[in-house]
Amino acid sequence: MNKENILVIGGTGKTGSRVMEQLKNKGIEPRIGSRNASPSFDWDNKDTWVNALNGIERMYVTYYPDLAVPGAKEAIQSLTYLAKELGVKKIVLLSGKGETEAEACEKIVMDSGMDYNIVRASWFNQNWSESFFLDPIKSGEVALPMSDVLIPFVDANDIAEVAAKVLLDDTHNGEIIEVTGPDLITFKDVVNFISRTSKRDLNFHDITLEQYIDGMKKMETPNDVVWLIEYLFSHVLTNPKNQLVVNDVERVLGRKAKSFLEYAQETAKTGVWN
C-alpha cells in the first residue's frame, strides 16, 4: 500500500486529528481533508473535492457537525459517488449510534460497491474537555436535562485507534463497528468523576430540555448547533440502542475500551478543568 494515498476528512477535528496521529505513528503521511489544507477540502464547496480526492485509495470521513443534520445525506451521497469515480477503494465512515438520519448516510456507503467500515460511536468523553460541556465545568455550575439517562461514553482516542486500524487492515471489511466505553454512566456520574479528579466542587442542576434549549438561544448559540443538541437529547440519548455497552473496541484492538474515570484522571492532570 502506498503510504501517502490516504485522506482524512475532518483531519483537524476531535477524531480526525487523532486518526492523523495514529497513521503518522505508523510512518504514513495521510492527506488532511480540511479547508485550510493544501489541497483544501470544503464540504460546502464541491469544487475542492476533486483535488482532495485525486490519487486517494482509502479515506476516513467525518461530517461536521453531525450526519443527522439536514444536507448531510446529500453531501455523503455526492462524495461517495465521486470517490468511487476517482478510484477510491475503501471508506471508513464515522457515524453516531441510534441516529436514524446517520443510518441513511451509512447505507449510501454500504451500497457503494467500495470496501467500507462504519464506525458507530457513542457520545465522546472529550465533549467534556474539548467541546460544548467544557465551559459549564469550568464555571462550576453544570445544568443539564435528562440527568439519569445511562450513556456508554466513549473515548475519542479509542475511536481513532479503531478507525485507523480498520482503515489499514481489511480483516473487518464490510462490518459496522460500534464503539462505546465499558460503563453506563449518567451526567450526574460524569460531573462527580470530574469533581473528584479535578478536586473541584461542581454543582449539578437537573433542568428540562426546554430550559436547556432556551438557555442556548439566549447565549446566541448558532441555530444549527441548537437544532443538533435538541435532536441529540430528544431522539438519540433516549434511544434504547444507545444504552448498551458493546465490546467492539476490544474485539478490534484486543484491549478494553478506556473508562470515563480513566479519561477523567488523565484529563484532570492537564489542568483544562481548573
User: Dihedral (C-alpha) 165, 166, 169, 173: value to the nearest 10 degrees?
Assistant: 160
* DSSP assignment letter at 33: E
Nearest-Å Rg of the Cα atoms of the chain is 19
Query: Which residues lie below 8 Å from residue 195, measured CB to CB, with a gap of 6+?
Result: 201, 202
Residue boundaries of the structural domains of the chain: 6-123+154-181+243-257
CB neighbours of residue 195 within 10 Å: 20
The pTM for the full model equals 0.95
Query: Which residues lie below 8 Å from residue 218, measured CB to CB, with a gap of 6+?
Result: none
pLDDT at 240: 87
pLDDT tens for the chain, residues 1 to 274: 556 699 999 999 999 999 999 999 999 999 999 999 999 999 999 999 999 999 999 999 999 989 999 999 999 999 999 999 999 999 999 999 988 889 999 999 999 999 999 999 999 999 999 998 999 999 999 999 999 999 999 999 999 999 999 999 999 999 999 999 999 999 999 999 999 999 999 999 999 999 999 999 999 988 888 999 999 999 899 888 889 999 999 999 999 999 999 999 999 999 999 9
pLDDT at 100: 87
pLDDT at 89: 97
Q: Which CATH class is domain 6-123+154-181+243-257?
A: alpha beta
pLDDT at 1: 52
The Cα 76–Cα 36 span in angstroms is 21
Whether the CB-CB separation of 89 and 114 falls below 8 Å is answered with yes
C-alpha cell at 27: 510512518
SS3 153: coil
Whether the CB-CB separation of 79 and 91 falls below 8 Å is answered with no
61-91 pLDDT, tens per residue? 999 989 999 999 999 999 999 999 999 999 9
